[in-house]
Structure 1
Amino acid sequence: MKPNKKRFEVMENESLADCLDRMKKEGYQVVKRFEKPVFQEVKSGGNTTIQPIGRQVFFEGRRIDS
């Protein structure tokens, strides 16, 4: 038996539409979207700064009942 909820991550070389298609093929529909920023420490001289370099996108899916 498959779980009722599952989290899907949009992979690096995958579009949002590709991830949504993958969810649908596995039998899930979107209930929530999450975005998580990705940061990198940059050292210049004696200072360290944190700069955003990207984001991770996740979808929470709920099982589609047939």
Structure 2
Amino acid sequence: MPKKTIWFEMEENETPEQCIERMLKMGYRPVLRKEEPVFQRVDGEVVYFRQKVRFKGELMEEKNKK
């Protein structure tokens, strides 16, 4: 049985729309979006690298489930 909620991380070359489409194909609908910065150490200095985007997916229930 699949988990009721799961986090989906947006791939590096993926748009938010593509990530949500992937979620829907797997039977999950987005309920929360979370962004956090990713830093790297370059020449001893900490610098901004990119933004990590994750979507929390909630399992969609079947409409005809009894």
Q: Specify the SS of the correspondent of 2:20.
A: helix
- The equivalent of 1:38 in structure 2 is 38
* Deviation, structure 1 residue 14: 0.9
Measured in 2, the distance between the counterparts of 1:6 and 1:21 equals: 15
Structure 1 vs Structure 2: percent identity of aligned residues?
37
Structure 1, unaligned runs of 5 or more: none
Measured in 2, the distance between the counterparts of 1:59 and 1:22 equals: 11
Q: 35, 45, 61: which one pairs with 1:65?
A: 61
Q: CA RMSD in A?
A: 0.9
Normalised TM-score (structure 2): 0.86
Greater percentage in strand: 1
Measured in 2, the distance between the counterparts of 1:42 and 1:26 equals: 38
- The equivalent of 1:3 in structure 2 is 3
- Larger Rg belongs to: 1
Structure 2, unaligned runs of 5 or more: none
